[in-house]
Amino acid sequence: MTRRLTLFYLFFSLFFSAYAQGTESGQYSDVIRGQVFVDFENIYAGHVDEEYPLSMDTASRRALDEVALFFSAMIHGWSFSYEVGERARKIDENLELTPLGKIQFGDPALVVTESEIKDMQLIIWADYHLSEPMQKRMQVWRTGMIRNAQAIGYAPISFETYPGWIAVKQLALEDSARAALRAALRGSERNRPKHVTGFISLAAFPRFYIEAGRWAVSARFRVQIIEIRPFAAY
C-alpha cells in the first residue's frame, strides 16, 4: 500500500496540478478549498461498477473530475430558469441550469494538498488559487444581495437511465439546487411565483451519501434572483 501511495503522489506531481470536497470555513480571499471521497468498491443498483475494485489511476481521475465540477459550481455557478410549478393549475415544476464556466482538467490553479487511503476510500484535499477576476466574482457571490439556501437532492444510483457516475451525481446536485430554490422562494415570497430567473452557485462542496437505495446530496447555495413573474402576469 505504501508503494501504491508513493506512485500516486508521483502520478499527481507529473501530470496534474490537481483538485478536491469540503467546507468553506478557513478559506482565504484568493484560495478556496475542498475534499473529495472516492470509493474503490462502488456498487450501483445491484450490480458492480465496470471496474471493480477501482484502480488507483481510475479513482484519482474520478476525484479530479468531481472536484473540478464542484470548484466550477462555486466560482462560476449557473444561470437558471425555474418554472416553480403548481399542482392545482397542472403546471409542472422544471429547473433549467446553464453552467457559466468550467474548470478544465489539469488547470494549474488546482493543487492537491493532502491525500490518504482509508476504509477503501481515496480521500483528497485540494486548493484552487483564484485569479483576480475570480476573486471579484467570488466577492459578488458573498455580498448581502445574495440569498443563502440549503437543501437535499436525490438521484437514482442506476447507470441505466443516466449513464456514468458523474452524470448521476450531477443530477442529484441539480435536484438539490431545485429544492434549495423552492425553499428560498417559499421563505421570501408571500405568493407562489410562476417563473423565476437568476444565478446560483455552490457555497461549499456538497456532501454525498446513500439513502433508501439512491444518491442523496446535502448542498448549500448562493442565489441571486433577477426576475420573478407572478401568476397574475399570465
Spatial separation of the C-alpha atoms in residues 35 and 48, rounded to whole Å: 25
List phi, psi (to 5°) of 180.
Answer: -65, -45
Residue 165: pLDDT band (50, 70, 90) is confident
Q: With contact defined as beta carbons under 8 Å apart, do 226 and 198 qualify?
A: yes
Task: Give the closest residue to 74 by CA, choosing from 31, 11, 105, 42.
Answer: 31
Average pLDDT score over residue span 118-146: 91
DSSP of 18-68: -------TT-BTTEEEEEEEEESS-EETTEE-SSSSPPHHHHHHHHHHHHH
Query: Degrees (nearest 5) of the Cα angle 12, 17, 20?
Result: 85
pLDDT over threshold 70, residue 138? yes
Residues in CB range of 33: below 8 A, 6 or more apart: 20, 22, 24, 26, 27, 113, 125, 126, 127, 128
How buried is residue 3: exposed, middle or buried, by Cβ count under 10 Å (0-12/13-18/19+)?
exposed
Range 166-191 average pLDDT: 89
Asked if 1 and 117 touch (Cβ cutoff 8 Å), the reply is: yes
Number of domains in the chain: 1
10 is written with which cell numbers? 508521483
Distance (Å, rounded) from C-alpha 118 to C-alpha 172? 25
Task: Average the pLDDT over each of 23-37, 85-99, 109-123 and give the range with the smallest value.
Answer: 23-37
pLDDT at 53: 86
What integer pLDDT is reported at residue 179 of this predicted model?
A: 96
What confidence score (pLDDT) does residue 85 get? 75
Find residue 114's DSSP bridge partners. 125
Its domain, for residue 207, covers: 2-233
Residue 94 CA to residue 97 CA, distance in Å, equals 10
Structure confidence at residue 42 (pLDDT): 72
Residue 44 has a pLDDT of 59
Summarize pLDDT for 180-228 with one digit per residue, the tens. 999 999 877 778 888 999 999 999 999 999 898 888 999 999 999 999 9
pLDDT digits (tens, 9 = 90+) for 48-92: 556 778 899 999 999 999 999 999 999 999 999 999 877 767 778
Confidence of residue 43 (pLDDT cuts 50, 70, 90): low
Q: Region 142-160: what's the mean pLDDT?
A: 83
DSSP 96-125: EEEES--PPTT-TTEEEEEEEEETTEEEEE
Give the pTM: 0.82
What confidence category does residue 131 fall into, taking pLDDT thresholds of 50, 70 and 90? very high
